[in-house]
Structure 1
Amino acid sequence: MRASDHLLMDEDAEETGIFHDFAAVVGSERFSPYVFVLVFGALFCIIDTAAVIGAGLVSGELARYAGLEASISQPVIFGLAAAFLILAWVLRIYPRRRAALEGGEIGPVVRLLGGLFAGALATRFGEHGLSFVELGVWAAWLVAATATAKICRLLVASVVRHNVGAAYLQRPTVVVGNNAAALALARGVASDESSPYRLVGFFDDGQGRDGPLTGVLPYIGTLDAVAAFAETYEELDVFLAVPWTAGSRILQLVELLRFMPATIRLIPDLPAFAALDARGAAAAAKLTPVLQTPPLPPYQRMVKAGTDLGLGTIVLVLLTPILLGTALAIKLDSPGPVIFRQPRRGQFGRLFSIYKFRSLHTAKADTNADTLVTKGDPRVTRVGRIIRKYSIDELPQIINVLKGDMSLVGPRPHAIMAKADGKLYGDVVPNYSLRYRVKPGMTGWAQINGWRGETDTEEKLRKRVEFDFYYISHWSWRLDLKILCRTLPAMLFPSAGNS
């Protein structure tokens, strides 16, 4: 079986977060199951509920044929189905891992249905008593419901495995190193039907040198090429099959991938791992130490992207009168374009053009922001002073959000050549580029906590980046909503100039 025929699923990682600790920022985010598993878990719940209703309607007909019209009526059928649907999610009986895609375990469903049926029968027995015929009809309902649910979910799981799994549920995986341990890993992935990895190639500094992986996996390049390769993927697993004695090389690789969407795993004992058979290597691969995880797992990215798209569309509609009025004011105040574009670095360090209302005189505009705008700056127009004070000049960035370059909430994107006390931002704050692990935002945790305005000194920059790192380490949908709710008051009652 090919490595590409397998599904991917990971365990949850512990969540921590300290500003000055590089490892805490890199590895703190929760690494939760894929959104596809949640979607199919919900699908199986719907299938099971439909099975309860369908089997109930059939059993109701049998009850009426036996002269037990009141035993299984439609209100009883839909009442039990509603109770099952609610309790299934309250009790979390649907798996969040790979089992959901394999058809899942029917045991929890049977136990929940059995409990509901027992409660309903006990209530009916207390009110009217139960005959053996009526008990048999209820038993037929339970058996038919569970059998139908199992058959339907197995059919869905078969479709998922053959048509969805390899294409959508695997993360591509690369190996760093070309030795016996790397070969054991490749064989383990290829031989294990439950393997979560799809190996696409390997990296090795010995370019052109034959080794155990030569001819088994494609050679991609040297270790220095890993970061560029990672940029082409939304997520990537990287297995380090290198000796622990090569500590400097490991740290160098982690540094190269520090803000990339990569999960870095370290094979701890190369000789022992190499000695494992394929089955043992596959199991050991899932337990290897994790040095870094992506900033947000897939389902959290989906939630954040969905919020950006849905809420962003609403915000755009609400802001339209303000956008049009501001554009007219800028056009009447000074000659030049209404919209000002400036290159910024977004997620994973990728360049994009940020949109802002022009607030400077065209002849004095500074595209690269070599000189930051300060209070009383003569380059600022009359309208520019007002729109900068209340952050109105940032509102066109809602277009960046809808394009996917930015998020509603995230670290503010700084100008590429911006300086604090004459130094580039990256030279002032160690690990400054960790801000690129998430999309930049229109507003952020730093902005609502009073750190808007100029970042012309090292102290101001450090404080702002400290809040940015906190946001990255503690992201949640609730935190985003909190920031959005506090943004408007921060705009209307600014304590500093604009960023």
Structure 2
Amino acid sequence: MKKISLSDLQQVAPDDATSAPRPDAEVTAEKLASAARAMQSGANVPAISRVVLEGLVRFAEFLLITAVGFAVHFVYLAHSEGYGSQYLIVMPLIGALSVLAIQSSELYKISAFRKFPADGLQIAGAVTIVYGSALVFIFFLKLDAVYSRVFMLAWYLGSLAILTGERALLALIVDRLISSGRLARRTILVGGGGAADILLNQLAAQPLADLQILGIFDDRTDARSPAVVAGFPKLGTVDDLIAFSRRTRIDLIIFTLPITAEARILQMLRKLWVLPIDIRLAAHMNKLHFRPHSYSYIGSVPLIDIFDKPIAGWDVVLKYAFDKIVGSLCLVLLAPVMALVALAVKLDSKGPVLFRQKRYGFNNEIVEVFKFRSMRTDLLDFGATKLVTKDDPRVTRVGRFIRKTSLDELPQLFNVVFKGNLSLVGPRPHALHAKAAERQYDEVVDGYFARHRVSPGITGWAQIHGWRGETDTPEKIQGRVECDLYYIENWSIVLDIYILLATPWALFKNRNVY
């Protein structure tokens, strides 16, 4: 089964039962079931990426093995032989090969971290193979005079000791992270009844599964969907799940429906695809069987991947570092320009230099962005209820220039560098009541809120393709959203760099900004 595409969802006929609710029309926290409200009020700590943690452990063990080699060399050889290049080469090489050997035994998974000391012999075996192979290599190439066998033996024993201590400590840390919710995958099941009961019992049989099941959401209200399944409560409908996910962290949604219920799955996905959450289909009810690599697994329980959270794992770290480093450089380099703009705004009209406006951010969170004030103080439109048009009397003389050149957006670098609620590149954050042809954006574009699956940005793919400025027709906001969704589905750090470099040229070409 291939992953469901966005076009598949757009072909599902919209109606009142299947359209994703607008934020101001979503079920409020007070209207959610009491069990859902209680779940929301619990600990909602930020998650730690499993992929990042596993990568950090690999790097840490490489450093530990290499460091033990340098320590043994310093104690045993440095005073007599100095630091020969042969040792400087072999120490990081053995460290890297040891990590690869441990990796080949699948011991860099969260479940393996928790199984220590049960997996201790496998780790020792992997390291022994590497050091043993090195000794055989030294023997057959007659390098006894080049590499000390005592050094190699001491380094091997020291590596085993340091890895044993490190893995014991790691097991305690991972268990604590899971119990605190930082590493546990907060999971929701969609679809109740017998299928959910079977899946929940299968998941409960996985002793090292790092799941935290929050509950079940199901649109059915008859006997096929009881209030409690395998001890887990039904928290509401799929519409309720939209509201629930806006207020509490959810990492994974699992559909318990059979693959034959394609129409029903698509109707539900049409509501849920706007969320920045991994979505999977449980394979336990399907009679069709695929090759093992077609599935992802929780322990031994197979799942079919439908949607992945965009920009996850190491990509989050890379984008965060890119934003902070490049954003800080831009802030320093553009500080003189920002100072001149601030002075011009102040001299041109009375009022504050900066304008703060609430906009939609990641996962529909409300964020406050900074801009240079471009309107008269007595005519400020904080909700963007009226589009700015050509020769708009609300816009000041300086305001027309800084809006045309997007210099009014430069203070948003403060959001990127200091507040972290904006990225340099991403879908532009829209004002709460922004409209196209007198209709709010989400009423014009189906799936509009899917653009909020990533953090908004100062510039984006839509902006360099001419979709900036006035949105007086449905086609303009439709084009902007299509570009935003393309960016989300095709993100890479190279794409971010390209957009940044293309932005200055795009500013001069666009004539629809007033």
Normalised TM-score (structure 2): 0.76
1:101: which partner in 2? 113
Q: Bigger shift: 381-390 or 224-233?
A: 224-233
List alignment gaps of at least 5 residues for structure 2: 12-48, 289-296
- State the 1:55 CA deviation: 4.1
The one-letter code sitting in structure 2 at the alignment partner of 1:40 is V
1:8: which partner in 2? none
Change (3 A) 1:423 1:178: closer
Change (3 A) 1:444 1:110: farther
Q: Bigger shift: 432-441 or 221-230?
A: 221-230
Aligned counterparts, 1:225-304, within 5 A:
225-242=240-257, 249-268=264-283, 270=285, 285=301, 287-304=302-319
Counting aligned pairs with the same residue, the percent is: 34
The one-letter code sitting in structure 1 at the alignment partner of 2:113 is L
Please state whether the residue corresponding to 2:369 is helix, strand or coil: strand
- Of 147, 154, 178, the residue aligned with 2:167 is 154
- State the 1:176 CA deviation: 2.8
Change (3 A) 1:90 1:471: farther
- State the 1:41 CA deviation: 1.7
Is the contact made by 2:3 and 2:305 (CA closer than 8 Å) also made in structure 1?
no
Deviations 1:286-341 (A, max 9, x none): x2223322222233223323332343334333333332322221121012332223
The one-letter code sitting in structure 1 at the alignment partner of 2:486 is Y
- Of 57, 63, 70, the residue aligned with 1:40 is 57
Aligned counterparts, 1:119-130, within 5 A:
125=142
Say whether residues 1:384 and 2:396 are aligned partners. no
1:27: which partner in 2? none
Change (3 A) 1:214 1:442: same
Deviations 1:159-211 (A, max 9, x none): 23332344322211122333233223222222212324221222345679795
Distance 2:102 2:323 in 1: 28
The one-letter code sitting in structure 2 at the alignment partner of 1:154 is R
Change (3 A) 1:352 1:466: same
Deviations 1:78-108 (A, max 9, x none): 3322334566789995866436635686455
Is the contact made by 1:444 and 1:468 (CA closer than 8 Å) also made in structure 2?
yes
1:140: which partner in 2? 153
Distance 1:471 1:139 in 2: 51
The one-letter code sitting in structure 1 at the alignment partner of 2:62 is C
1:216: which partner in 2? 231
- State the 1:219 CA deviation: 4.0
After superposition, the CA RMSD in angstroms is: 3.9
Is the contact made by 2:217 and 2:241 (CA closer than 8 Å) also made in structure 1?
yes
Aligned counterparts, 1:32-71, within 5 A:
34-57=51-74, 60=77, 70=81
The one-letter code sitting in structure 2 at the alignment partner of 1:101 is F
Please state whether the residue corresponding to 2:446 is helix, strand or coil: coil
2:334: which partner in 1? 319
1:479: which partner in 2? 495
The one-letter code sitting in structure 1 at the alignment partner of 2:55 is L
1:192: which partner in 2? 206
- State the 1:453 CA deviation: 3.1
Please state whether the residue corresponding to 1:289 is helix, strand or coil: strand
Distance 1:135 1:82 in 2: 17
Change (3 A) 1:37 1:384: same
Change (3 A) 1:234 1:215: closer
Is the contact made by 1:188 and 1:282 (CA closer than 8 Å) also made in structure 2?
no
Deviations 1:7-36 (A, max 9, x none): xxxxxx999987x55489xxxxxxx95211
Please state whether the residue corresponding to 2:385 is helix, strand or coil: coil
- State the 1:473 CA deviation: 0.6
Distance 2:462 2:102 in 1: 36
Change (3 A) 1:80 1:190: same
Say whether residues 1:495 and 2:510 are aligned partners. yes
Is the contact made by 1:355 and 1:397 (CA closer than 8 Å) also made in structure 2?
yes
- State the 1:42 CA deviation: 1.4
Distance 2:109 2:495 in 1: 26
Is the contact made by 2:421 and 2:455 (CA closer than 8 Å) also made in structure 1?
yes
How many pairs align? Answer: 458
- State the 1:359 CA deviation: 1.1
- State the 1:259 CA deviation: 1.8
The one-letter code sitting in structure 2 at the alignment partner of 1:308 is D
Is the contact made by 1:331 and 1:338 (CA closer than 8 Å) also made in structure 2?
yes
1:78: which partner in 2? 88
Is the contact made by 2:187 and 2:250 (CA closer than 8 Å) also made in structure 1?
no
Distance 1:91 1:441 in 2: 41
Q: Which has the higher contact order (CA 8 A, sep 6+)?
A: 1
Is the contact made by 1:259 and 1:434 (CA closer than 8 Å) also made in structure 2?
yes
Distance 1:155 1:14 in 2: 40
Is the contact made by 2:259 and 2:286 (CA closer than 8 Å) also made in structure 1?
no
The one-letter code sitting in structure 2 at the alignment partner of 1:334 is S
Is the contact made by 1:33 and 1:299 (CA closer than 8 Å) also made in structure 2?
no
Say whether residues 1:164 and 2:177 are aligned partners. yes
Please state whether the residue corresponding to 1:405 is helix, strand or coil: coil
Distance 2:511 2:65 in 1: 56
1:334: which partner in 2? 349
Deviations 1:44-63 (A, max 9, x none): 221222233334455549xx
